[in-house]
Structure 1
Amino acid sequence: MKKPKKSIILTVSLGTAIMLAACGNGDDETDPEMDMDTGSEDSMDDMEDDDTGDMDMEDHGMNDMDMDDDMHEGHDMSSSGEVPEDLEEAESPTFEVGSQALITDAHMPEMEDVEATIVGAYDTTVYTVSYTPTTGGDRVEDHEWVVHEELEDVGEEPLEPGEEATLNASHMEGMEGATAEIDSAEETTVYMIDFTSTDGEEVENHKWVTESELSPVE
């Protein structure tokens, strides 16, 4: 009678071992699938992150272009050629009137690397200014350029950055009569020029370019 009891116990033990082994194999088979699913989700997240990064860079580039367009919107590149009465002609400019020069450091994209004819050269203090147009709209920041003689009632002494003055210039719509803050000031020679822009526009008597924006034509 003792031997059958041992057989029953052995049979139960084997059955238990087989069930445990089966459960173990089931877990092993399930885990890789879970890992694969998790990996796929992580990969999708990474791809979405990469796409978002690309879009951010593209948007940033477009915003920069929009800012450039807004900055120069309403800019009248040509002028009548009239200059303030008290603006002194340069006695010995680097680029003489009638000579050619290359615009190598342009303050507007359509002026970059084009050849210009010098039609006027003047010694003065030149400023970059920020102002709110009298016609409304967004504030214009760091406009290039305004000469000292285009500021109203400021005397002969150059202004310092941070000072304010009323503009008596019409380079851009809404500029004349606006209150401007001086952003930078430099004593130099400024030039009035004729040129053909990169988009084919014939520009006459453009005011102003500074000496540092020009290079000799080779």
Structure 2
Amino acid sequence: MNTIVLVLLSLLALTFGAVVGRRAGGALRAAVDGFVVAAIGSLVVFHVFPHLVGALGPWALLVVALGALGGWLHKRGDAGGTRTPAFGVAMTATAFAHAVVDGVALVGHGSESVSALGIGVVLHRVPVGVAIATVLHERVGKRAALATAAALAIGTVVGSFGAHAVSESAGTFLLIVQALFVGVLLAASMSSTTGCPAPGSSGPTR
């Protein structure tokens, strides 16, 4: 799938999630969360992961496991929100940094499996939008929540189009980044998808 289309879809998904978070009831949010988890799991297991194993060999298992561990540890260490300016700045900065990695994952480089990972990124932006509009809005206020959403959008664009400038010799590096992201994505989607987005993941935390 075309990179520009995926980037636009990811931004629309983020916006849709925010609207759902502000206007929809708990039942609809739960239904959206369930759909996202099922869709991401299917994409990763049946499309993305087999390609990574074929390209990286057994090392793909280790890299994915490290990514999942990192996502899980961050969620476990999340001590709760605060309205201090430092927290808002840190959240915005980390959201931007991870969105750049998200953008790299959106780049297909002609591979159907990487395109599937890109679709997974798009889908997971829905619960991230929900989290920004609900939990993050309550933790750091409206301005910081909007800044985080803007950082996600800008970082995604920077990462996706910056990846096109990477030479083919860096293909293995991109595969490793994608494998790490698969682990983080799995950890995020299999935990609660109605909390605050974690700095080290594209999904939210409690």
Higher relative contact order (CA 8 A, sep 6+): 2
Larger radius of gyration: 1
Normalising by structure 1, we get a TM-score of 0.24
- Structure with greater proportional helix content: 2
